[in-house]
Structure 1
Amino acid sequence: MRYWISAAALVAVMGVAGTAQAQTGAVEGRVDRLEREMRAVQRKVFPGGAGQVVEPQITPEANVTVPGAPSGSPVADLTQRVAALEGSVQTLTGQVEQDGYRLRQIEDAFAAYKRSTDARLKALEDGSSRSGGSGDPAIVPVDLGGGTEPARPATRPGRTPPPPAAAEVPAAKPTGARAQQVAAVEKPNSGDPAEDGYLYGFRLWQAKLYPEARKELEVVATKYPQHRRASYAQNLLGRTYLDANAPSLAAVAFYENYKKNPNGERAPDSLYYLAQALTKLKKPASEVCKVYTELDQLYGGRLSAEMKAGIVEGRAAQKCK
């Protein structure tokens, strides 16, 4: 009888031990899986490793008794580790999701900004192309006594220069009465070839000898581009075309002066008379108004009273908003 009791007790003990071992193995499996998941999350959060480890925000409490298991047993310890790891995984997962959401918001905002910027740049380029291809701007500055004009600052525009409208036939050497008119124009001789060339071209322009004036002015503008009179010469070159009823060629000359030498003293005048040339070419009012607006924005503080009055009159004629 004692033998059978001992055998039964032995079987019960072995059963309990087997159950505890099975539970321990199951919990250890969960721990191993969670630890692998934790390492995967940490690799995601810290690309490249660098040995960085995230400490769990949820730590096991002391003296926690797990129902159905003896206090201090290996199963209780493993259960606490599992609970801590599960809490850490949940916390890290939430942080990763929040970071991913913020990153998507930033990417969407940047994409929207890029689309807006590209659209604005394309609109500016299209507007410049239409303005250049549909008629070159021309400006007729008002020269003061002696051929000098007040200095004005300029800002370099970011536009595409308009193509030349046509090629002019070189002027033949004047003969007869024309030659006498040219000879009657005094040539200055100050020792500064750029200054002398501009003043001589200016005097020829005043005498309405436009082909001869253009020849002198072109030399100054191309041969002495760094001289202060280069801006004057290029601008007055446009005037000779405009006065000769060639607004398209005048527009090319004025636009070149504005584009290549925006800090030149005659750049504001070129932009001002550009609007007049566009009007003479019967261009859309929107293009003319854009020129007036740009002139006012770039040079408004330095324009003469006459030019400001001309802008007001021109905008009113074009019904600019």
Structure 2
Amino acid sequence: MGACDVSFARSIRLTLGATALAATALTAVPAAAQDNSEVRIRKLEAEVRALQRKVFPGGDGKFFEPEISTGQGSVTFTPANPSTTAVTDILARLDAMEAQMQQLTAQVEENGNSYRDLASRLAALEVTSGVAAPGNPLPAATGPSALAPATATPAPAAARPAPTPAAAARPAGPTAERLAAVQAIMKPQTDDAGDDEYSYGFRLWDAKFFPEAQQQLALFLEKYPNHARTSWARNLLGRAYLDDGKPREAAPWFLKNYQADKQSARAPDSLLYLAESMIQLKDTDRACIALAEFSETYPAVASGRLKDQYEANRKKVKCN
């Protein structure tokens, strides 16, 4: 090989070497840039996830998608507008709450008006009838039309007639036969002492020992004012007086039982028996007030459980 050929071959090798170096350099630059970009992207993704955990604590998937692992690393899918659904839900719930508050406010106002109307009617019933519940006396301005006890102020001793021989011979207390009959009525003995006291009073009333039933039921109410049978006992005590021919003494217990709790077990019965007491006292106006209150307050009971008694009382008086 001549000198020219050697020189030409050397030039070719130098050119190829330079080209290879240039190609290597050109290839290395994009690769380095690509690696740097990948690191920055992963860093940004980590910061976004940290921000999401800060804004939406818990990260339970309610506001953004969980990370889904692919074959090429972790990819995070975030909705385009994650707050839109949550805000819309909150606004909808606020609208519903406002609607409910409006309904509750209207119901409270309606109940308040109804309560004031009932209170006014009861006040009118008390004033016009003069019947005061036990422990709740009427004011002195009720006037002569008020119901006064049958035993008014006793006359002086000199003005009272001397007792007749028959009255003097009348025994001062119950007879031995009556005492034996009362003692024959057994008092229940259970784990509920209060219920036993009430049941014993009921048995005395059922056996028509009305004075003894009155005493027993009054004792129960004094000892157990908050017992589950309290409404039953007040109503039964009024009935014990009413069945004993004492409507004036019965009326206050019926009125008290109705006023104490209008939703109690025997409140409807007491209001109806109050009307019956007024009927026996020949006070039509007061009886009509009680009957109207009963039909308005307890329409279901007036057409159901106490329908017969209600209709019977209505036939006894003529109301406007």
Query: RCO greater where, 1 or 2, for CA within 8 Å and sep 6 or more?
Result: 1
Which of 1 and 2 has greater Rg?
Answer: 2
Instruction: Report the TM-score when normalising by structure 1.
Output: 0.48
